[in-house]
């Protein structure tokens, strides 16, 4: 509407100025005719009858004035028509976007807007709107899946707790140390799941508290592997540490990164045993790369990114007690990103899966 108003105002102003100029020229011309000029009375008579130069000039100016008025009127009509057409053409995509936003707010599923024919900013805006709707749909689908997974993982230990408690109340099972141990195990499963969800939420929201320290990488990794040696022996695996330069040091939160590497090692022990699990570290520019490689079956093709998602499990047929909560790798990724780094998953060319933690500030000044 603003465009149309400006166009019509410009036409009206042009017509008004044109007519004003014609009338001023006519008035100035006839005001300069000297009354004492010889033959003036005759020319006045000629003017009265429409003959002679003054009458001809007046008629010419009247014709010009009428033509200017007609041209202004036609220009006004043309401007009105074109302004209406262009305004409608320009605002149609905006109106469609406004209606689409209202339909989206109302929760209409599968909403997509037709792209305008012109390759301009409005087409790009409409494409961005469709992409936004698609992203929201994926987020909603992911949210529903996450809620369903959380409900499933909570339901299993709760069902076990309920059956155990009811059996003890009905005197079907004795209230002994073994029964209490089973109850305690299920409670710990619930507690660990809740703690994992809280850690993941805190890390992804950017509110995870970090206490960075400079550590000597070889000593740090050797201590971590020693703490998991018993768990590896039970699974029939060995934990090997590749040679690492003694002077390699880095600055990060050792407790948080221990959680990351612990989750990676637990994942390898769960899915890739028996066999060897190798840990290596190297400096890459200003970054530290720590890799955990197993010699198992590797990752399913195309799942290199999915394994880092929440509640992903490599083998859905396994039970919860064998497969864990499905949050370990997602937590590891979130903690790595909270350090300004990343976690990559891939299949090793020589077999097995390899998970690589890349952290900034790979070169430190000393060791703690």
Question: Residues 240, 278: contact at Cβ < 8 Å?
Answer: yes
CA distance 148 to 358: 32
Q: Whole-angstrom Cα distance, residue 55 to residue 50?
A: 5
Confidence (pLDDT) at 115? 84
Query: Tokens 């209202």 appear where?
Result: 102
Q: Summarize pLDDT for 64-94 with one digit per residue, the tens.
A: 667 767 776 777 777 777 777 777 777 778 8
Closest CA to 12 of 61, 100, 91, 80: 80
Q: Which residue has the tokens 């330069």?
A: 245
Mean pLDDT over 54-70 rounds to 67
Mean pLDDT value of segment 300-306: 76
Q: For the chain, give the number of residues.
A: 368
CA distance 217 to 228: 17
- Model pLDDT for residues 252-299, shown as the tens digit of each residue: 999 999 999 998 998 888 877 677 899 999 998 889 999 999 888 888
* C-alpha to C-alpha distance for 182 and 292, rounded to whole angstroms: 33
What is the per-residue pLDDT across 204-247, written as a single tens digit (0 to 9) for each? 777 888 889 999 999 999 999 999 888 888 888 889 999 998 88
Give the tens place of pLDDT for each residue, 120-165: 787 888 888 888 888 888 878 777 777 777 777 778 788 888 888 9
In the chain, DSSP assigns E strands to: 213-216, 237-241, 249-252, 275-284, 287-294, 342-347, 353-360
Higher pLDDT, 84 or 179: 179
What is the per-residue pLDDT for 119? 75
Residue 22 confidence class, pLDDT cut points 50, 70, 90: low
Sign of the four-CA dihedral 56, 58, 59, 61? positive
């Amino acid at each position: 509407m603003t465009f149309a108003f400006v166009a019509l105002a410009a036409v009206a102003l042009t017509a008004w100025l044109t007519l004003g100029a014609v009338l001023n020229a006519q008035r100035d011309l006839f005001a300069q005719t000297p009354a004492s000029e010889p033959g003036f009375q005759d020319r006045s008579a000629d003017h009265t009858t429409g003959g002679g130069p003054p009458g001809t000039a007046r008629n010419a100016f009247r014709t010009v004035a009428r033509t200017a008025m007609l041209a202004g009127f036609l220009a006004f009509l043309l401007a009105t028509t074109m302004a209406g057409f262009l305004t409608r053409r320009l605002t149609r995509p905006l109106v469609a976007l406004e209606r689409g936003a209202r339909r989206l707010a109302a929760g209409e599923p599968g909403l997509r807007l037709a792209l305008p024919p012109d390759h301009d900013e409005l087409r790009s805006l409409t494409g961005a709107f469709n992409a936004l709707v698609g992203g929201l749909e994926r987020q909603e689908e992911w949210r529903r899946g996450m809620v369903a997974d959380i409900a499933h993982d909570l339901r299993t230990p709760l069902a076990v707790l309920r059956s155990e408690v009811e059996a003890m109340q009905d005197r079907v099972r004795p209230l002994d140390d073994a029964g209490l141990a089973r109850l305690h195990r299920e409670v710990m499963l619930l507690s660990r799941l809740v703690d994992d969800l809280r850690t993941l939420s805190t890390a992804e929201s950017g509110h995870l508290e970090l206490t960075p320290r400079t550590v000597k990488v070889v000593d740090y990794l050797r201590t971590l592997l020693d703490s998991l040696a018993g768990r590896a022996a039970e699974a029939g695996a060995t934990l090997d540490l590749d040679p690492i330069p003694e002077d390699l040091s880095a600055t990060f939160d050792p407790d948080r990164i221990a959680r990351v590497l612990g989750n990676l090692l637990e994942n390898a022990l769960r899915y890739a045993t028996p066999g060897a699990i190798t840990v290596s570290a190297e400096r890459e520019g200003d970054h530290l790369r720590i890799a955990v490689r197993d010699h198992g079956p590797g990752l399913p093709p195309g799942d290199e990114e999915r394994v880092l998602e929440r509640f992903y499990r490599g083998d859905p047929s396994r039970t919860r007690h064998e497969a864990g909560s499905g949050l370990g790798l997602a937590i590891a990724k979130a903690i790595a990103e909270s350090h300004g780094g990343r976690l990559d998953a891939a299949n090793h060319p020589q077999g097995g899966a390899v998970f690589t933690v890349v952290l900034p500030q790979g070169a430190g000044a000393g060791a703690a």
